[in-house]
Amino acid sequence: MPLNLGPAPERNRTPAILISVLVLAAIAAAIYHFSPRTPAQIQVVKVDPFAPHTETKAAKGGIHVLGTPSFSEDNLYVVVHVSIENNLRRTLYLDSPEAMLTLPGGTTAATVINPADVPRLEQSFPALTPLAAHPVGDESEIAPRATIEGSIILLFPTLTDSAWKTRKSASLTVNLHNLPPQTINLP
């Protein structure tokens, strides 16, 4: 047998490259087909404004501290009923929703009421209890392939119900951990 110390003869690599490209294309198509287009779908079911007018006066026969006048306070609570559908195969966590209200005089941001504070708020305003069913907020969980429905309570301090009626626009931005925020216009 003769000794051949030269380079090995070149083989045609085209079939191997084509097979590799087809396998990679099949894997990419499978990933695209089985991955959800929208990881989470958020819908506003309805919006309930609640604008209590609170007045504090000295009680008859009670102790009155000098220099503390009676006062009144107007606040606008907006209860946004949402439905959040998790299309992923992992648990999603809600992270600090945000809201903006644009009035003829400018834009104001809302304070989002934490679900842990809702019972205390309902003690102050019992008429809010039927509106605020199942509050959701910071750190609420959405199980894989599940949907949660609940209320996000927004507080716009010093505004009245007439401010809500004369608004130019209102929006809610829902932040989910590790996903881009989704902004929804409120009706």
The CATH number for 114's domain is: 2.60.40
Residue 33: inside a domain: no
Residue span of the structural domain in which 169 resides: 40-54+72-185
Residue 17: inside a domain: no
User: Mean pLDDT score of the chain, rounded to an integer?
Assistant: 87
Residue 181: inside a domain: yes
DSSP state of 20: H
In the chain, the number of structural domains is 1
What percentage of the chain carries pLDDT values higher than 70?
A: 90
Rounded-to-integer distance, Cα 145 and Cα 139, Å:
18
Q: Which residues of the chain have pLDDT under 70?
A: 1, 57-71
Rounded-to-integer distance, Cα 153 and Cα 138, Å:
12
Residue 180: inside a domain: yes
Chain Cα centroid distance, residue 75:
22
- Summarize pLDDT for 53-79 with one digit per residue, the tens: 777 765 555 565 665 666 678 899 999
Residue 99: inside a domain: yes
Rounded-to-integer distance, Cα 34 and Cα 97, Å:
29
Residue 104: inside a domain: yes
Residue 21: inside a domain: no
- Residue 96: closest CA among 84, 113, 81: 113
Contacting residues for 173 by C-beta, under 8 A, at least 6 apart: 97, 98, 99, 100, 181, 182, 183, 184
Question: What pLDDT does 10 receive?
Answer: 75
**Residues comprising the chain, all counted:** 187
Q: What is the separation, in whole angstroms, between the first and last Cα of the chain?
A: 88
Residue 96: inside a domain: yes
